[in-house]
Each structure stands twice: as C-alpha cells, then as structure tokens.
Structure 1
Amino acid sequence: MDIFSIWNLNKDLNYSEVIEVYRNYTSWSTTEHDAYDGAALEFNIVINQNPNYIYNLNGIDVPFAEINFRKEKVYSAERNNPLRDKRVKLTEITFYVYEYLNKVRFIVLRGSGANTLTALRAATNCISNNDITSDNLGLSEDFFYWVFQRHMNFTSRELYPNTDIYVDALTGYSGSTRDSVNDMWGRGSRISRILVTLAFLFNNDSLKSLTPDFKFKDENLEVELTLNGTFKFNLESHLGMFLLEADLTKKKASSLIQFVLEIFPNAKSAYEKHVEDETWGPDHQLNFIAGIGAEIQDRVEEKLTDISIQLAQSGEDDL
C-alpha cells in the first residue's frame, strides 16, 4: 500500500496561480550553497501537467497536476564531514495539486507530519504557518466503530439508504502491533470479522487505524484510515473507471481525488445521517460491543459442549 496525506491551501490563490508559482520558482527561490565546498544546493520543481489530467465530478472539471519537489540542505551536525551524502540532506516529495469549489488542495505521497509540511510550504512559497494545513478528514474512533458495526451486522447493505455507498470488506486494523489477526480479510466468515473487531477493541493505542474497502456506485478502493492524517491506499484494489488507465500518474491521482471528493464524503455523510437519526450513538456502540462479547461467549460455550461430548464418548469407548 502507498502512503498519502491531504493538505489544504489557505492562501487566496487559485489552481492556475499555484501552478504559476511552481513554474516560476527560479524567480522567487534563493540558491543556497554548501559552506564546505561552495557548491550550489539543489532546489528544483518539476511539473507534470497534461490536458487529459482532469477529474470530472458531477459535470464539474477538476484539473490536476503532479508536482515533484527536490531541495538540498546542509545537515548542521555534519557540516564539516567530507562525505557529501552525510553532509547534505535531500528532501523530495511528489504530490498532486487540484482545485474544487474554489479551494486548492494537495494530496502528498508521503505521511502527514512536520517534514512534509515544511517541504510543501517551501515548494509553494508559503511563509505563514497557517498557509497550508493538514486535513485528517475529521476521523474519530466512533466512526471506526460505526464502520465495524455496519460491516458486521449489515454486510451487504448500503451504509445509509439510497446513498449507494458500501463497505465491501474490512481488510485489517492496527494499533501498536500488527499480527496474523490483522491479515484476516473481512470477506471471510463472521467469526473472522468478530475476531478482527475484538483485536481492534482490545488495543488501546490512540493511533488506531482501519482499512475498509469502500464501494461507491461502481467504484472500489481500499484505503487505510488513521486518526493522525497519514493514510494508505491500495491501487491494485481499485475497480472502476480507472482500472485500465495506462497512465499511472493519471490513474493514481484520479483514484485519490475520487476518494477525497466522492467516496469518503459519502461514507462520512452516511455516518452523520445515522448520528442525526439517532440510529448510531454511544448506546448503539455499547450494544454493538456487548453483542460481540455475547456472541463470542456463545461460540465458546458451543465449542466446550462439543469437546465435553467428544470426551464422554471417548470414555465410553474405553470401557
């Protein structure tokens, strides 16, 4: 799975103006030099733009471009090291930039964190701390529990009536550890889904994640969601309009933009409608967890009964 993070531009710039910032970077960037040998340090932006790089959402064209940014900086602790690869640190990020409803956003093929923000700000010539901010999609553990509950108890049904959004599978969970339980596919038996859910519940790590395979209309994409803004996606899981797309940049960017603008918003809207309708809330979460516990207890008691019968029959055979 490939890592990505989502960022918002909070400056009064549109898509074309942002592209011009990248195109004219030599006019505003400052060339830094390595004090050890006087060599110029790299600062480079490459724009991959194509007339076909357009995502269409409900009749609205959403143009996008792929940006590759490279910047070298001397690592102060090694500034006198004669080995250049020890002395000079290279930061490189690749990201997609697009605009929808007068809002410019970035999808960076790197995790959410300070280093990503620093690189994104440097590439976009942003100075203020709030010019670019991370978007964690407003995720919460309650949303994760709701997804578990919908997939467990309403496996083949829409997440909310007349929304055409489903969870086809839960491919895993994670917390502080990953083990064989994490590899169980949600398309398996109900007991497997229960075990995955229990493993999630028993892990107290605040950075829990969940990997649903969302289906919206005829589009499928498996995405690992987390609470810290670093996500992963499995492009090989994609089924839909971009399945046979030969241009990997267009396929990857379009799939991610589709997830950010269509697939996830519809899933989040279904969750919010259940909360609004009071068909999901703290009591429902409590009943869901209690129901899992009761079902596991029933399964254990059934197994113990089977073992007791087998032992009794074995004892009779020995007489």
Structure 2
Amino acid sequence: MTLSKWTDTTGNNMEDILSNIMNYNDWFEPEKDPLTKENLNYNIEKIFEENKEIVLNNTVITYNFLRFEYERVRAGEVDNPMRSIRIYSLTGNVIIYTDGTQTQYIINRSGGPHTLTLLRKLNNYNRKKEITYTPFHVSEDIFIWMIYKVLTGKEESLQDDCRLIMKKIIGFKGATKDRLAEVKGTGKKILNLLSTLAFLFENENVSNINLQIEYKNETIETLMDLSGTLDIDLDKYLGQYFMDHEYERNAKVILTTFLEIIPKIITVYHLDIENGEWSVDKKIEFFDSIGTQIRNKINDKIKKMSKDKK
C-alpha cells in the first residue's frame, strides 16, 4: 500500500479537524450528474467511535482511521449516456493522528498535487499551505548504505537500546527499471554479491528499495522511494498487533513504521556519516570488496577445476 504523510498547518487541534471532516453535511456542496442532475455520492466514515492511542518515541499518539468515497464526473465523458463511464468513484483511507501539538495525515496515495487536492476537499480547505507534504528526505546514497549494511552487518541491530535489523533487501530499482532478486547478509553470499554488483554497475541511480525490517517484536516489509513515500506490505506483517482488528492493526503498523522505524534508520545513516562509518571512500571500498570477493571465488573455482582435470 503506497502511503504519504502530510501536515495540517491550520493550528486547529485534531478533535476540531475531525469534527469538521465528519460534519461535512454542514458545508459540502455536492456535485451534480450532468445528465440526470442527481447529486453525486460523497461519504466519509470514521472507523473508531472513540480515538485510539499508541505510544511511540515515548509519546502518546492519538489517532483515528477514516474511509472515504466520493464520485466525480469523468473528464471528456460528460455526455456519455452510460453512468458507469460518465461517473467514477474515488476511494481511500486516511489515518489522522496527533502528538497533542501537531496533527498529521497518512493517506494511501503517493505524495503529489492530486493527493493534496483530495485532502483539501476532505477538510473543506481553500487557502494555500493549510496542508503540506511531509516526506522522508532520502537520497540514492542511503539506499546504497542500506545494501552495504545488509551485506556486511551480519544481522546486527542498528541500535543498542532496541532490536532494529534490516533483515534483507527484497529488491530495488534503478534507472533501467531492473529489479534485483533478494539480498541477505547470510546464505548464498556469492549470489548476493554477483547480483548486487551487476545491478549497481548497470544502474547509475537507485530509485527505490524494498526492505524486510525486524523491529522489536515486529517484522515489516516496506518499499521506500526517492520521493519520500512508503509502500508497506500489510499482508506480510508479523508481530504483536497481528491479532488486532484489521483497521487497528493496520493503523498501528503504519504509524510505527512512519514515526519510529524509518526515522530511526535514517538517524543511524546520518550518524554513520558523522562518525566516518560511511563516506565516498567507504562506498568505493564496498564496491571494491564485492569485486575482490567475486574474483577470489572465481579463482578458487578455476584452481579446483584445474586440479580435478589432472
């Protein structure tokens, strides 16, 4: 599920924002079907009657889960007699949450102007910058660092005070849109090295990376791209929330990933740079070590074949 994070900058608290969203009958002006003149459907459902809470980063996060669906007239089909073509539906989910000071949204849409328009519509906002995109700030370098950590980290935790392991890389993409097979720090290492080296030499840029992460008692798979959005595979989640109701489980997994797991990984990356554990020279050494290990393996294989031949 592709997800992006947004910040409400109006200064209103979450309760007031939620109340405004749910009382849409007080302000919403429905669109009309251009042929039948009937009102098009517009509906928002609040999943939890009472707001839920989760503690993240030693802070109580209050949240709720919204489902929305509304109809629009399809551009270029205004006069089409078939309603199923003339009218289309937009559906989606929004997690609205607050730490008591700031209210944010996580929506199952990528970051971009269409998502901003949708959130503004749900809130009945009409002024600029009332909602702003709040992506993770990442670069290709952090993706290379993640590959480095998985291949050399021996499944060690990135943090001392809690279990945080980038268990394996399920895949990543570059400019040629090639997808790499699974990469792990253990197992058939030569295959990991070969596929990694081939990919990095054929692609000048890594545009996204798909990780399996173990965090405390949770196992989560998520894809991160250069735009700062996440794509969390909720069907593959394992952990303490597994038996919770679907919406509550999904909300907890998404919030934990957005507010704890990914920020902690990004922090470790920047600390490695500050401490000299990751740099251009380290990257060069990493690439060179891959090549050296592959060459050594090939030489060992040739020697063995030559020996067997005799």
Q: Partner of 1:289 in structure 2? A: 287
RMSD of Structure 2 on Structure 1 (CA): 2.4
Report if aligned partners of 1:172, 1:185 keep a CA contact under 8 Å in 2.
no
Change in 2 beyond 3 A, CA 1:250/1:196: farther
Partner SS for 1:6: strand
Contact 1:159/1:271 (8 A) holds in 2: no
Q: How many residues align?
A: 309
Structure 1 contact 134–229 (Cα < 8 Å) conserved? no
Q: Mapping of 1:1-150 within 5 angstroms?
A: 2-51=1-50, 53-57=52-56, 59-100=58-99, 102-150=101-149
In structure 2, the gaps of 5 or more residues are none
Contact 2:96 2:104 in 1 (8 A): yes
- Seen in structure 2, the aligned counterparts of structure 1 residues 262 and 126 have a Cα distance that, compared at 3 Å, is same
Aligned to 2:177: 177
Q: Does structure 1 conserve the Cα–Cα contact (< 8 Å) formed by 2:68 and 2:91? A: yes
Structure 1 residues 280 and 207, CA gap change in structure 2 (3 angstroms): closer
Offset of residue 62 of structure 1: 1.4
Q: Deviations over 1:16-55 (max 9, x none)?
A: 1211121111112111212222111122211112447221
1:143-191 CA-to-partner distances (Å, cap 9, x unmatched) read 1111111111122222255554221222222234355x42456653222
Once residues 194 and 124 of structure 2 are traced to their aligned partners in structure 1, the CA distance between those partners, rounded to angstroms, is 48
Segments of 5+ residues of structure 1 without an aligned counterpart are 314-319
Q: 1:131 to 1:207 in 2, by over 3 A?
A: farther
What is the letter of the counterpart of residue 137 of structure 1? Answer: F
Aligned partner letter, 2:279: G
Provide the identity percentage. Answer: 25
Q: 1 CA distance for matches of 2:117 and 2:186?
A: 40
1:170 to 1:128, Cα distance in 2 relative to 1, 3 A: same
| Cα separation, partners in 2 of 1:192 and 1:243, compared to 1, 3 Å | farther
Name the residue aligned to 1:261: 259
Q: Which deviations, in whole Å up to 9, do the C-alpha atoms of 1:251-300 show, x marking residues without a partner?
A: 01101101111111111111111111121111111211121122222222
Q: Match for residue 317 of structure 1?
A: none
- Select between 154-163 and 65-74 the one with higher mean Cα deviation: 154-163
Alignment of 1:301 with 2:304, yes or no, is: no
Aligned residue runs from structure 1 range 160-309, under 5 A: 160-162=159-161, 164-175=163-174, 176-178=176-178, 181-183=180-182, 188-204=187-203, 206=205, 208-245=207-244, 247-309=245-307
- Worse overlay, 286-295 or 195-204: 195-204
Distance of 1:188 and 1:123 partners within structure 2: 49
SS in 1 for 2:276: coil
